[in-house]
Amino acid sequence: MAEYGKALRSTATPIPGLVVWDLPVHGDSRGWFKENWQREKMTAAGLPDFGPVQNNISFNDAVGTTRGIHAEPWDKFVSVATGRIFGAWVDLREGPSFGAVFTCELDPSRAIFVPRGVGNAYQTLEPDTAYTYLVNDHWSPDATYTFLNLADETAAIAWPIPLDRAELSAKDAAHPRLADVTPVLPRKTLVIGANGQLGRALRAEFGDAAHVEYATRAELDLADPALETARRWRDYEVVINAAAYTAVDAAETAEGRAAAWAVNVTGVAALARVATAYGLTLVHVSSDYVFDGTSDRPYREDDPLCPLGVYGQTKAAGDGVAATVPRHYIVRTSWVIGDGKNFVRTMASLADRGVDPRVVDDQIGRLTFTDDIAHGIHHLLSTHAPFGTYNLTNTGPAVSWAGIARQVFALTGHDPARVTGVSTEDYFSQAAMPIAPRPRNSVLELKKIRGVGVTPETWDARLRAALR
């Protein structure tokens, strides 16, 4: 019989993410009532907002009916409508808790949240037991399951009714022992734009882990109308969008404007729909160009967006779309330097070739090296930092492009006086194509990213290391 009058309460188990819940049951001579699933109260009490989409019921006539051990590729919230069960859970996920076991009884006043990859089994202790579970993905014939034998000697589950006297299927009886189980891998992480400067840094940061995939533009184009059906998205946990249209000046042309909006806005909107529909975490990389650069202080994450040119407008629109995803990180950066053609390499090449450049000296900011962006993204994901927007650049004093060029000349053994500082207007006065307006102040405040444990190196220290 259900225990009446409990308060809603959670109890952790030795298996990470497997949590037992006491449910308030209200009863009288007529029977009882409970809120089996109440999103607002339960998420406030710590239950993951796991987004159930299907409700299943397993009815069992006899005492001793035994089912499992099955690990499915979704989370579920298990409870009992009538009767009572002995439940057993075995962690079948890859990691240090693989093989951990937890058992307890469930009745209508007790439920349990079972994360993806944890094997689930039960044995009925009363006749006419109705076992119910909410899941956050629809059943699919393409889903991959992992199984463990109910009698596995390593798990050594103390079934109340010995298995030789219990009712179980031949299929469950034939499942493999723990030593033969292939652990369940984490849901996949997908890096889009994997051949760009940031994409290559993300490859170095995340490595060749089996659950991390990298897609180049040829393999997954943000502007492709078929993006939303391009992957079996329910198999993914995280999508990192390192792809963008970044030709700032070309975006001011008719052709470039269309391309910039297609990639930076329409493509991001498609990703946002996918992420929202499948509960994915979307990491979206943004730019200082979402601001007009007129502030007399570093820009904060919550400052109003006010872009100047087409590129900045598309990045600001993309930010607005990405922010609609319940699980999102918008990583805003500036003056990016990575593996490939970039400002630092250009200045070093000019210095070596004896060219004395004219460089803009009325735009200020900080360099940001792609390795530091990649590390920051990895940190946000691995520490489960609060979702939202984070500024991420290298630290150090604000400086102009001309100041950076002089540093490059000096560090490569050349006379920094060879660099002549000029205004933005003078620099572009002879340009033959449309020129995008640039923010004069690109300095981003870093208090928020430091608050979650990310402290990038100074840009000048990273510059020294890069030139070595």
* 203 and 135 co-located in one domain: no
Instruction: Please give the pLDDT value at position 138.
Output: 86
* 413 and 273 co-located in one domain: yes
* 352 and 450 co-located in one domain: yes
Q: What is the dihedral of CA 208, 211, 217, 219, to 10 degrees?
A: 110
Q: State the DSSP code for 353.
A: T
Q: State the DSSP code for 105.
A: E
Q: Which of 122, 131, 133, 311 is catalytic?
A: 133
- Looking at residue 127, which CATH number applies to its domain? 2.60.120.10
* 155 and 201 co-located in one domain: no
Quote the pTM value.
Answer: 0.86
Q: Which one, of 432, 428, 409, lies nearest residue 356 by Cα?
A: 409
Q: Is 70 a catalytic residue?
A: yes
- Looking at residue 272, which CATH number applies to its domain? 3.40.50.720
32: tokens are 């009882």
Number of Cβ atoms within 10 Å of the Cβ of 7: 8
**Integer CA distances (angstroms), 363 to 317, 350, 367, in order:** 24, 21, 12
Residues in the chain: 468
Contact 261/327 with Cβ under 8 angstroms? Answer: no
Enumerate residues 6+ apart whose C-beta is below 8 A from 343: 335, 337, 401, 404, 405
Q: Final residue of a domain: which of 180, 215, 238?
A: 180
1 belongs to a structural domain: no
Distance CA 2, CA 186 (A): 36
Distance CA 147, CA 163 (A): 17
* 239 and 364 co-located in one domain: yes
Residue found by looking up tokens 């943000």 in the block: 222
251 belongs to a structural domain: yes
Instruction: Please give the pLDDT value at position 331.
Output: 98
Instruction: Please give the pLDDT value at position 430.
Output: 81
Q: Is 375 a catalytic residue?
A: no
Q: Final residue of a domain: which of 133, 159, 180?
A: 180
Instruction: Please give the pLDDT value at position 454.
Output: 96
Q: DSSP letters of 150-212?
A: TT-TTT----SS-GGGSB--HHHHTPPPGGGPPPBPPPEEEEESTTSHHHHHHHHHHTT-TTE
* 161 and 254 co-located in one domain: no
Please list the alpha-helical segments (H only) found in 28-180: 39-44, 170-173
Mean pLDDT of residues grouped by 10 in the chain (468 residues)?
Answer: 82 96 90 91 91 93 94 94 96 95 96 96 96 90 89 96 94 95 93 95 93 92 84 92 94 95 95 93 98 97 96 98 97 95 95 96 97 98 96 97 97 97 92 90 98 96 93
* 77 and 204 co-located in one domain: no
Residue found by looking up tokens 């990470």 in the block: 16
* 241 and 267 co-located in one domain: yes
Enumerate residues 6+ apart whose C-beta is below 8 A from 310: 251, 252, 256, 257, 260, 436
145 belongs to a structural domain: yes
Q: Which domain holds residue 369?
A: 188-467
Number of independent structural domains in the chain: 2
Residue found by looking up tokens 């872009």 in the block: 307
Q: State the DSSP code for 218.
A: T
* 332 and 389 co-located in one domain: yes
* 233 and 152 co-located in one domain: no
* 194 and 124 co-located in one domain: no
Q: Final residue of a domain: which of 163, 180, 197?
A: 180
Enumerate residues 6+ apart whose C-beta is below 8 A from 331: 283, 284, 285, 286, 373, 376, 377, 380, 389, 390, 392
Instruction: Please give the pLDDT value at position 432.
Output: 79
Q: Which of 70, 211, 378, 379 is catalytic?
A: 70
* 75 and 111 co-located in one domain: yes
